[in-house]
Structure 1
Amino acid sequence: MVSVILLFVLGLVLICFGGDKLVDASVALARKIGIPQIVVGATIVSIGTTLPEILVSTTAAFDGSAAISAGNAFGSIICNTALIAGLTQLLRPVKKVEFGSLAWRSLFFFATILALTAYGWFTGHFDRMAGIVLLVLFGVYAWLNMVRSKSEEEETAETEESLEELKKISLPRNLMLLAFCAVLLFWGANLLVDNGIIIAGYLGVPERVIAVTAIALGTSLPELVTSIMSVVKGCENVGLGNIIGANILNLLLVIGIPATVTGIELEAQTVRVDAPLGALVMAVLIVPILFRKKASRIQGAALLAVYGLYCAFNFF
C-alpha cells in the first residue's frame, strides 16, 4: 500500500511540475509567433493548467471509470473556485476588474454548465453527441477570444525571468519542451488515476468521492500555482482570469473529449450535487464582482467555508 501512495504522490508532483513548465513554454511560444497576450491567458495558459484534468478524465474514460471522468471535471471547478479563488481573494481581493472581459466569459460559463446539468439530469449520461457539441463550443470560445482580444486588457501570469530565458530557446526546442511537459502530464495523470482507484478501493471510498476531492485537487495544482504567483506579484486579475478560463475548459474539454471518445455515464450525485454546486460557487465569486467591480475577503472566506463543507459532506 505504501508503494501505491508513493506512486499517487509522484503523479501529483509530475502534474504540478509539468503543468507549470507547460504554461511558461506555451506563453513563450505564443510570444514568438505574435499571439496577443490576452488570447494566451484565456486559451493557451488555461489549456496548459487544465491539461491534467483533460488527461485524467480521458484516461479514466478509456479505463471505464466514468465516475472519475465526470467527477473530476465538476470537482475541479469547485476546487478552482471555492478553494483556490477563495484563498486568493481572502489573501488579496481583486480591486479593479474589466467588466466586459469578465462578463462575456461568465455568461459563457453559466450557459454551458446549466445546459450540461439539465442534459445530464434528464439523460443520465453525456453521450458522443454532447461531446461533439462541447468541442464545437470550444472552437466558438477560442474564436471569441481572438475576436475580442484587441479590446481587452493584455496581461498574463508568467514570470518575466523565466520568459526571458525561454525566449532565447529556438522554436524547435520550444516545441520539444512542450512535448516533454505533455509527456510528464500524461505519465502523472496515469499514475494519479490508477493509484487513486486502488486507494479508493482500499479505503472503501467511492471513486466519485476520490475524483471530486483528492484527484480534483491534484489536477488543479497548476491553477493553484498560477493563482498564488499572481497574488505574490500583485496581479490578482491574472489569477481570476485563469480560474474562469480553466473552469470553462473543464466543461468544454475535460467533459467534451472523453464524452466524444467513449461517452460518460453519470452518477446521481454528479448532477444533483457536484454540477449545481459548481455553478453556485462561481456565482458567489463572480456576481458580486460584476456589480461592485471588485472582490472582497468576505467572498474568499465564504468560498473556503463552502469547500470545507463540501469535502466533509463527501467523506462523512
Structure 2
Amino acid sequence: MEAIIHSHLASFPTLVLILIVAVMLYTLSKGADILVDEAVSLSLHWGISKMIIGATIVSLGTTLPEACVSVLAAVNGNPDLALGNAIGSIITDTGLIIGLAALIGYLPVDQMTIDRQGRIQLFSGILLAVVSIPFLSKGDTGNINQWMGWFFIILLVAYIYISINWSRKSGEAETDLTEEKSPLIVQILKLLLGIILVLGSSKILIPAVEISAIRIGIPQSVVAATLVAFGTSLPELVTAVTAVRKGHGELAIGNIVGADILNVLFVVGSAAAVTRGGLNVPFNFYKLQIPTMLIVLLTFRVFAKSKSNEISKLQGLILFGIYIVYLILNYTWI
C-alpha cells in the first residue's frame, strides 16, 4: 500500500504535491480535533478519566502506524527496522512530543494515574532493555524471540483491562455529563473517524513531503533524519498538540504514556510474534538507542513526580533537548 501511494504521488507535479501537503495537514488537524473531542466525551460517558482514555483507546489508535511499520518490516525480514521504529518512537514521543507540548501549553499531571501508568511505562522500557541483553539469547547479540512477543501481547491485554478497572474503582472520572450531546454509538463512530483521518492523512502526508523536499533540493539524508524518523509518531504529535491547545493536557500526557507502553507491548510484541526467529537486536542499539530510551523515560518520570503536578516549560525544554542530542548523535556516531 505504501509503495502504491508513493508511486502515485511521485507522478504528480511539485505544485500539486504542495497542495496535497496543505490538504493533508488540514485533514490531519481536523481528525485530531475529532479524536480529542470524542475521547473526552467517552471519558465522561463511561466514567473513565481523560488520562486513562488517552493511555488506552487514543494510544491504540495513534500507535497503529508504528505497529504496521514494525510488523511489515519483521515479516519482510528487516527486524532492525521493526525494533528501531519502536524504540525510536518511544524517544520521539517522550522527548520531542511531550517537550513541545509543554512548551506551547499547560501539561497537568494526575499523580494517582501517573503513579500507575507511569510505573508501567518505565517498567515496559526496562523490560524491553532487559530482554534485549545478549546473555538472554544464544547468539552474540540479543534476540527478542517469538514466545516473548506473545508474552508482550498478553501483557498488553492485561494492561488495558487493569487500566480501565483502576479508573472505575478509584473514581477518577469526570462526573459532569452535561457536555454529552450524542448517543454512545455516534461518539464511538466519530472517534473511529478521527483515528482514520489522522492515520490516513499521515500516510499520504509523509511521502508527499518527502518527495517534495527532494525535488526542491533538500538532501535525502536530511529528509530521512527528520521526516522519516518521526513519521510514524506524527499522529501522537498532532493529537498531543491539539489536546493541549484545547485545554486537555492530561489527555496528551495519557496518550504519550500509553503510546510508550504500547510501543513495547503492542509494536515490539506483534513484530516478534509474527517472526519465528524473533527480533535480533543490533549491537549499536546498546550504544545509543536503548540507553537514550531509558534516559528519556527516567527523566520524564522524575518530572512527572514533581510537586508542581505539571510538566513545566523548562522541563519540556530539557526533554526536547534530549531528543535533539539523540538526533545529532545518530549521525555523528555512524
**What is the CA distance between 1:190 and its match in structure 2?**
7.8
Q: 1:121 aligns with which of 106, 110, 133?
A: 133
CA distance in 2, matches of 1:190, 1:71: 19
Contact kept? 2:109, 2:304, Cα under 8 Å: yes
Q: 2:173 aligns with which of 143, 151, 154?
A: 154
**In structure 2, what is the equivalent of residue 134 of structure 1?**
152
CA distance in 1, matches of 2:112, 2:184: 36
CA distance in 2, matches of 1:136, 1:68: 23
**What is the CA distance between 1:252 and its match in structure 2?**
0.7
CA distance in 1, matches of 2:102, 2:88: 20
**What is the CA distance between 1:84 and its match in structure 2?**
0.9
The residue correspondences of 1:259-274 to structure 2 (distance < 5 A) are 259-262=272-275, 263-274=278-289
The residue correspondences of 1:39-78 to structure 2 (distance < 5 A) are 39-78=52-91
Q: Is there any run of 5+ residues in structure 2 with no aligned partner, and where?
A: 1-5, 214-218
Deviation string for 1:75-117 (max 9, x for gaps)? 11111111110112223343x5322210121111222211221
**In structure 1, what is the equivalent of residue 327 of structure 2?**
311
Tell me: CA distance 1:110–1:280, structure 2 relative to 1, closer, same or farther (3 Å).
same
Q: 2:119 aligns with which of 107, 132, 149?
A: 107
**In structure 2, what is the equivalent of residue 159 of structure 1?**
none
> After the TM superposition, which of the residue ranges 269-278 and 140-149 deviates more from structure 2?
269-278
CA distance in 2, matches of 1:235, 1:178: 16
> After the TM superposition, which of the residue ranges 53-62 and 284-293 deviates more from structure 2?
284-293
Structure 1 or 2: more helix by fraction: 1
Q: Secondary structure at the match of 2:54?
A: helix
**In structure 1, what is the equivalent of residue 163 of structure 2?**
145
Counting matched residue pairs gives 299
**Counterpart amino acid of 1:279?**
L
CA distance in 2, matches of 1:230, 1:180: 17
**What is the CA distance between 1:251 and its match in structure 2?**
0.8
Q: Secondary structure at the match of 2:288?
A: helix
**What is the CA distance between 1:236 and its match in structure 2?**
1.9
Tell me: CA distance 1:299–1:28, structure 2 relative to 1, closer, same or farther (3 Å).
closer
Deviation string for 1:245-293 (max 9, x for gaps)? 1111111101111110112222122343212211211221221331324
**In structure 2, what is the equivalent of residue 98 of structure 1?**
110
The residue correspondences of 1:1-316 to structure 2 (distance < 5 A) are 34=46, 36-38=48-50, 39-94=52-107, 96-122=108-134, 123=137, 124-149=142-167, 150-151=169-170, 153-154=172-173, 171=185, 210=224, 214-262=227-275, 263-294=278-309, 295-316=311-332
> After the TM superposition, which of the residue ranges 131-140 and 84-93 deviates more from structure 2?
84-93
Tell me: CA distance 1:174–1:299, structure 2 relative to 1, closer, same or farther (3 Å).
closer
Tell me: CA distance 1:288–1:152, structure 2 relative to 1, closer, same or farther (3 Å).
farther
> After the TM superposition, which of the residue ranges 255-264 and 293-302 deviates more from structure 2?
293-302
CA distance in 2, matches of 1:178, 1:303: 30
Q: Is there any run of 5+ residues in structure 1 with no aligned partner, and where?
A: 156-162
CA distance in 1, matches of 2:161, 2:57: 13
Tell me: CA distance 1:296–1:194, structure 2 relative to 1, closer, same or farther (3 Å).
closer
Instruction: Give me the TM-score of the superposition, normalised by structure 1.
Output: 0.76
Contact kept? 1:125, 1:266, Cα under 8 Å: yes
Contact kept? 1:16, 1:222, Cα under 8 Å: no
Deviation string for 1:211-237 (max 9, x for gaps)? x85334111112111211222122222
CA distance in 2, matches of 1:16, 1:72: 24
**Counterpart amino acid of 2:291?**
P
> After the TM superposition, which of the residue ranges 118-127 and 46-55 deviates more from structure 2?
118-127
Q: Secondary structure at the match of 1:291?
A: coil
> After the TM superposition, which of the residue ranges 235-244 and 67-76 deviates more from structure 2?
235-244
Contact kept? 2:36, 2:242, Cα under 8 Å: no
**In structure 1, what is the equivalent of residue 216 of structure 2?**
none
Q: Secondary structure at the match of 2:109?
A: coil
Tell me: CA distance 1:142–1:67, structure 2 relative to 1, closer, same or farther (3 Å).
same
